Amino acid sequence: MPNDLHALLGARPQLPPDAHRGRGILPDELSRFCGERGLNYTAYPMHEVTAHPDASEMIQLFAPHLGEAHDPILTPGPPLAFREDWQEIVAAAKECGAHALWVAFHGYGGEHDRLLTRPGAFGETCLAVRRAQECGLGTGANVFLTKPAVRDFDRLLSVLLGLRLDMFVITVAGYTPTPRGRRYEALRPELGDLLPIARRVLDESLLGREEWGSLEAYTEAAWVRHAHDGSWPETGYWTSPRYQLVAGRTSTCTPGLPASTGAATGTCAATAPRRC
């Protein structure tokens, strides 16, 4: 949900008494409520719609409210590996305009499993990618580097290339106020950890090139200097020319390829009208 709706939720909007009974009412009512007050509203499917018991129905319910910029399938991956109805979920998402599956890697093998607190999650995510490709979906990934992930970078990169992803973005795992994000704080790589792999990242990934080409300019110390001398960049990530270029390139020039859009998440660029 956009930030303006986050602020709104504190006001406890009065929805119809039966909104909880008919699941189709809630998105429509939220859309109307926000529209009447000049607020943007999208039902952005953050993790983890594919884990919902009625995943296909949820995708069909919320897809009309996603807007034009996001595909329905955004997942860490495992549900599409262990669910028996995974083909139905993919079919529902494709019917609603999905072009791609975008997953996340938090390290290689056991390190990924540890951060997701699920044994076998790394292999399940790889299987989800292959299944999406079998169904004709594009595939992409966010790759979040921790100190352990950097130590296993060669093996992790080999897996990414072996999966033949359409696109992936390699970024540094950052702090967020979630359980996993809090663990990241103790595992953040330092500049000296990242410099040896920067050239390989630039060789393999089309995204994040500005950061990886000048790592020194994106350290915590660099941001502190900006804050002290008043040179904090006025342009935010979401409105920066670099982001707009990447999003525009993938959504208009290369149909089917996903565009990563978050420091800890990713979205997929949808170019076809939604049909749900």
- Cα–Cα distances (Å) from 174 to 83, 116, 262, 270, in that order, read 30, 15, 11, 27
Amino acid type, 150: V
| pTM listed for this prediction | 0.73
Which of 94, 81, 100 shows the shortest CA–CA distance to 139?
100
| Eight-state DSSP code of residue 72 | S
Is residue 233 situated within a structural domain? no
- Match 């979401």 to its residue by tokens: 238
- Residue 44 has a pLDDT of 61
| Residue 36 covered by a domain | no
Is residue 251 situated within a structural domain?
Answer: no
Q: Record the tokens describing residue 272, joined without a space.
A: 């076809």
Q: What pLDDT is stored for residue 91 in this prediction?
A: 92
Q: At what angle do helices 86-95 and 55-62 cross, to 10 degrees?
A: 10
Q: What is the pLDDT, as a whole number, of residue 3?
A: 35
- CATH number for 176: 3.80.30
The three-state (H, E, C) secondary structure of 161-180, written as one string: HHCCCCEEEEEECCCCCCHH
Q: What is the CA radius of gyration of the chain?
A: 19
* Residue 133, in any domain of the structure: yes
**3-class SS of residue 101:** strand
pLDDT of residue 267: 29
pLDDT in tens, the chain (276 residues): 333 333 333 333 343 444 444 444 577 788 788 888 888 777 665 567 888 899 898 888 877 777 654 565 778 889 999 999 999 999 998 888 888 899 999 999 999 999 888 999 999 999 999 999 999 999 999 999 999 999 999 999 999 999 999 999 999 987 778 777 788 888 889 999 999 999 999 999 888 888 899 999 888 888 889 888 988 776 555 455 444 443 333 333 333 333 333 333 332 222 233 344
Residue 8 lies in a domain: no
Note whether residue 226 is domain-resident. Answer: no
Residue 197 in any domain: the answer is: yes
**Half-sphere exposure of residue 133, counting CA atoms within 13 Å on the CB side?**
15
7 sits in which H/E element: helix 3-9
In this structure, is residue 123 part of a structural domain?
Answer: yes
Q: DSSP 3-state assignment of 23? A: coil
pLDDT of residue 70: 53
Residue 272 has what pLDDT? 31
Q: 123-133, pLDDT tens digit by residue?
A: 999 999 999 99
Angle formed by the axes of helices 121-134 and 86-95, to 10°?
Answer: 50
The closest of 64, 59, 44, 47 to 3, measured between CA atoms, is 44
Which residue type does 273 have? P
Residue 139 has phi, psi (to 5 degrees) of -140, 145
Report how far residue 83's alpha carbon sits from residue 214's, in angstroms, rounded to the nearest whole number: 42
Task: With beta carbons less than 8 A apart as the criterion, state whether 56 and 88 touch.
Answer: yes
Domains of the chain: total: 1
Q: 191-204 and 153-162 are packed helices; what angle lies between their axes, rounded to 10 degrees?
A: 20
Q: Say what the pLDDT of residue 64 is.
A: 77
Handedness of CA 79, 85, 89, 90 (dihedral sign): positive
Whole domain around residue 123: which residue ranges? 70-213+258-269+272-276
pLDDT score recorded for residue 261: 35
Q: Which two tokens stand for residue 270?
A: 């949808």
Burial class of residue 202 in the structure, from the number of CB atoms within 10 Å of its CB (0-12 exposed, 13-18 middle, 19+ buried): middle
